[in-house]
Amino acid sequence: MMSIEIKEIHTQRELRDFVKFQMNLYKGNPYFVPALMVDEVNSLDVTKNPAFKFASARYFLAYKEGKIVGRVAAIINDIEVNELKIKKLRFGWLDMIDDIEVTKALISKLEEVGKENGLEFMEGPMGASNLEKAGMLTFGFDRIATAIGQYNYAYYPEHLKKLGFEIEKEWVEQFLTAPKSIAPKIYDFAKLVTERYKLKLLHFKTAKEMQPYIKPVFDLLEESYKGLETFVPISEEQKAHYAKKYSAILNPDFISFIEDGDGELCAFAITMPSFAKALQKANGKFFPFGWYHLLKAKKKNDTVEFVLIGVHPKYQKKGITSIIFKDMFETFTKHNIKYLETNPELEENQSVQALWTDYNPVQHKRRKTFKKNIG
């Protein structure tokens, strides 16, 4: 049996090798959507990702016969561990060939890091903060990933189960068909709610006009989800970072922002044209032609991805989503959108899933995080 060597990486060159391994592993796979190399490296760079202001990460590569055969990131969120007293080692960027001995070696390294830091269990895949990708695909291996989702082979969860992991959280993803019409009562109800609460639907012509509202989106997102047991506060640096990142790729036509009578953002919905196929064509490179594929997808597309929705707690269950869905319907009709794909929604969050009733929903993907005690 060939031995497997686990090496910790430290240099920028090694970090690029860490990113390239996944792209090599999935080369030619029709369902995998590669991130842009520069974005992926920056998200892992502790000097560039603001999540590492309150988190630390160590990256490991697995070698067999001199070749890279696996990778993993061991992450400690200091707020989670020290303030919330959740003694968890996060792990992410787990990729490996179909060899359970490789997976076992990577998990053993995670256990070693967890023990060194006095942690009680590990959970993943997930990033340094709750704003980053989470969950391992467990159903839907024959469907193309979304631009902000992630794909993995079917043997990944099987390896983790064999190594003693249990399911912790589960998300579902829906594939939807845009309706050709919506009931008149939705228009009537949207008008009623708008007038009752003195609401204002905001539209933007340019990303520059939209920019001042991106950070309030994250403030509202935090307000909406801070009651959850697993919630970890979002830092001001993170809000500014993601505001800059997403304002560069979002199409203002596909954004619905709602202000209340006091001029405060009280609800939002963000969709965007699907970049999945464009990113496949770019193959991790913005130059020389990646930018062209992405720009083309942004301007002309028949599919959109549902990114985020948020409603301030004091406006929840008051019908404000009727305004959002009326606006979305009009936008999709204007742009000849035929399909809509959600990104992960917590399986128990039935209220969000109920929003899609008029869109002929098909649950086509499921993903989970896995948990194991550190002995």
Show me where the domains of the chain are located: 5-173, 179-337
Mean pLDDT of the chain: 90
pLDDT digits 0-9 by tens, 59-104:
999 999 999 999 999 999 999 999 989 999 999 999 999 999 999 9
Give the distance from CA 163 to its chain's centroid: 26
Mean pLDDT of 90-119: 98
pLDDT in tens, 134-156: 999 999 999 999 988 899 999 99
Where residue 288 falls among pLDDT bands split at 50, 70, 90? Answer: confident
pLDDT digits (tens, 9 = 90+) for 262-286: 989 999 998 999 999 999 999 999 8
CA distance 254 to 269: 8
Assign 355 a pLDDT band (cuts: 50, 70, 90). confident
If we measure between CA atoms, which residue out of 130, 99, 129, 125 comes closest to residue 110? 125
Q: pLDDT value at position 231? A: 67
Identify the CATH class of 5-173: alpha beta
At residue 249 the predicted structure's pLDDT band, cuts being 50, 70 and 90, is confident
In CATH terms, are 5-173 and 179-337 the same topology? yes
pLDDT at position 227, please? Answer: 64
Nearest to 96 by CA among 173, 26, 170: 26
The predicted structure's pLDDT at residue 195: 94
The domain made up of 179-337 has a fold known as Aminopeptidase (3.40.630)
pLDDT higher at 244 or 229 = 244
> Does 293 score more than 70 pLDDT?
yes
The whole-number pLDDT of residue 58 equals: 98
The mean pLDDT of 40-58, rounded to a whole number, is 92
Band of residue 229 on the pLDDT scale cut at 50, 70, 90: low
- pLDDT for 179 equals 87
Residue 175 has pLDDT above 60, yes or no: yes
Kindly report which listed range (222-226, 304-308, 360-364) carries the lowest average pLDDT score. Answer: 222-226
What 3-state class would DSSP assign to 303?
Answer: strand
156 residue type, one letter = Y
β strands within the chain, DSSP E:
5-8, 55-64, 67-77, 88-96, 121-124, 136-139, 166-177, 200-202, 255-259, 265-273, 303-311, 339-342, 345-346, 362-373
Question: pLDDT at position 176, please?
Answer: 92
Of 54-63, 214-223, 312-321, the range with the lowest mean pLDDT is: 214-223
**Residue 49 in this model has a pLDDT that exceeds 80:** yes
Question: Quick one: how far is CA 135 from the chain centroid?
Answer: 9
The confidence score (pLDDT) of residue 224 equals 72
pLDDT of residue 1: 57
pTM value surpassing 0.75:
yes
Count of residues making up the chain: 375
121: pLDDT strictly greater than 80? yes
Which pLDDT score, from 0 to 100, does residue 242 have?
Answer: 74
More confident residue, 252 or 355: 252
**Token duo for residue 328:** 């979305």
Torsion angle (degrees, nearest 10) of CA 6, 12, 13, 17: 50
